[in-house]
Amino acid sequence: MTRNPHSARKACNHLSLACLALSLCMLGGCATSGKPDPAYYHIEQGNLPPVDVSLNIPGLGPCTDNPDRTLRLNTSQPVNVLTHGCFGSSGEFRGLAQVLAFQGQQTACFTYDDRDALDKSATALRNAVNRLAEQTRTPQIVVIGHSQGALIARRSLSDLPVAPPNRHPDLRLVTISGPFNGIGSAETCGRKWLSWASFGLLPVTCYIVTGAKWMDITYSSDFIIEPGTLIPEVDNYLKIDTDESGTCRREQDGRCLESDDIFSLAEQRNPKVDNDTRARRIEVGAGHVEIVGDKRVAPRKLISVLQQQGVLRPTVSGRTAEFNQMLARVYRDDSLLQNAEHP
């Protein structure tokens, strides 16, 4: 049978447009990471307990972009391990780490190559958590992940083929805005028949755009279809889904220049994840970046949820103004500073 050259050319053009659209959409779903600023290399001591150990654990470090990745902790206190999304860095969580420090809660940040297969990153996180458990006396480790980091955080505490640690602190999981049902803009990559129709061009294009993780983030991937069972050491799981519809990351003169609507609720819902008996799902109306904050906007909605759920300690009575001053200072949010001056 003779193939119609016009039809073939039309199909190729459609495929090229789809791949281009996929590239732009997926890049838009990641928070951009700016050049590291030495002014953000440290966090304030806050009410953190005294340090009694310095640790060097692959993948873990302070929640800053400081090249010194040494962890300085109190070995008898709980540790919150924060996991960033794609195009992120440890410094993206500096503000949240400062909020926790104000309440006397320790943090460590997990850093990974966001183009790696998600199972590889999850295994590295699990090994890091195990080493943290073995090298401290911490009674609890809370693993918190945002966006792609949410997928990695949950998988890290699932039934991976990883040797267990010598000691078992309590584990708690918190995921925020995780696309557990697959990333919609990656749907083209998940259509296996297109791999044949494109003569192998589609998988190559998907790899160029996202790296090895492209096989894990589509609706038809094994990673999404079989998310795994959480290990018994996980006491409870707080799943925060964000209704991002209509949100805006950056405005000018009343116009939205950059949307903060990245993942729909449908992309975040997955019955095999949501129906775990230890899972508590909470839905928050907030943008994808808004929920965790950035250098300009404090994550007030997330702070409220974490305090209500016992992840973040409540602000001591009489320290609200001081808390708001800290937020204004860390996030450079003038509205918070005004609230602090006029409680």
On whether both 172 and 320 belong to a single domain, the answer is no
- Say if residue 225 is in the same domain as residue 339: no
Residue 129 CA to residue 247 CA, distance in Å, equals 34
Measured between alpha carbons, how far is 147 from 176 in angstroms, rounded to an integer?
Answer: 6
Contact 224, 218 (CB under 8 A): yes
Q: What is the pLDDT of residue 202?
A: 61
Do 106 and 218 lie in a common domain? yes
CA angle 19, 207, 158 (to 5 degrees): 120
Confirm if 278 and 236 have CB atoms less than 8 A apart: yes
pTM, 2 dp: 0.86
Q: Which tokens sit at 34?
A: 């700016």
Q: In what order do the strands lie in the sheet with 234-243?
A: 60-61, 106-110, 79-83, 140-146, 170-176, 234-243, 279-285
Select the more confidently predicted residue: 185 or 258: 258
Identify the pLDDT of residue 191: 62
286 belongs to a structural domain: yes
Question: What is the predicted pLDDT for the residue at 217?
Answer: 86
Domain containing 270: what range? 44-184+213-246+258-312
CA separation for the pair 198, 290 (Å, rounded): 38
* pLDDT recorded at residue 338: 54
Co-location of 302 and 330 in the same domain: no
Same domain, yes or no, for 130 and 156? Answer: yes
Residue 39 lies in a domain: no
pLDDT value at 50 more than 80: yes
pLDDT score recorded for residue 27: 39
Whether residue 14 is contained in a domain is answered as no
54: Cα within 13 Å, side-chain hemisphere? 3
Local confidence band at 195 (pLDDT 50, 70, 90 cut-offs): low
Does 227 reside within a domain? yes
d(CA 153, CA 198): 34
32 lies in some domain: no
Q: What is the pLDDT of residue 172?
A: 97
75 within some domain: yes
pLDDT tens readout for residues 276-322: 999 999 999 999 999 998 877 899 999 999 999 999 999 988 899 99
pLDDT number for residue 108: 96
Same domain, 330 and 277: no
Write down how long the chain is. Answer: 343
Q: Is the pLDDT of residue 214 over 80?
A: no
Residue 218 shares a structural domain with residue 341: no
Closest CA to 29 of 109, 81, 96, 88: 88
- Residue 16: how many other CB atoms lie within 10 Å: 13
Q: Which of 29-43, 51-65, 151-165, 232-246 has the lowest mean pLDDT?
A: 29-43
| Domain membership flag for residue 199 | no
* 12 assigned to some structural domain: no
Residues 65-102 pLDDT 10s: 889 999 999 999 999 999 998 766 777 899 999 999 99
Q: What is the pLDDT of residues 272-284, one digit of tens each?
A: 999 999 999 999 9
- DSSP bridge pairs for 281: 239
Domain tally, the chain: 2
Averaged over 121-150, what is the pLDDT?
96
Model confidence at 2: pLDDT above 60: no
Q: In this structure, are 323 and 232 located in the same domain?
A: no
Same structural domain, 293 and 325: no
How far is residue 203's CA from residue 209's CA, in Å, rounded to a whole number? 10
Same domain, 179 and 81: yes
Using CA atoms, how far apart are residues 267 and 241, in angstroms rounded to an integer? 10
Mean pLDDT (the chain) is 84
Paired with 110 in beta bridges are: 60, 83
Same domain assignment for residues 308 and 320:
no
**What is the distance between the alpha carbons of residues 318 and 60, in angstroms, rounded to a whole number?**
35
For residues 304 and 47, give the distance between their C-alpha atoms in angstroms, rounded to a whole number: 19
Question: What average pLDDT does range 198-225 have in this prediction?
Answer: 76
One domain, residues 50 and 150:
yes
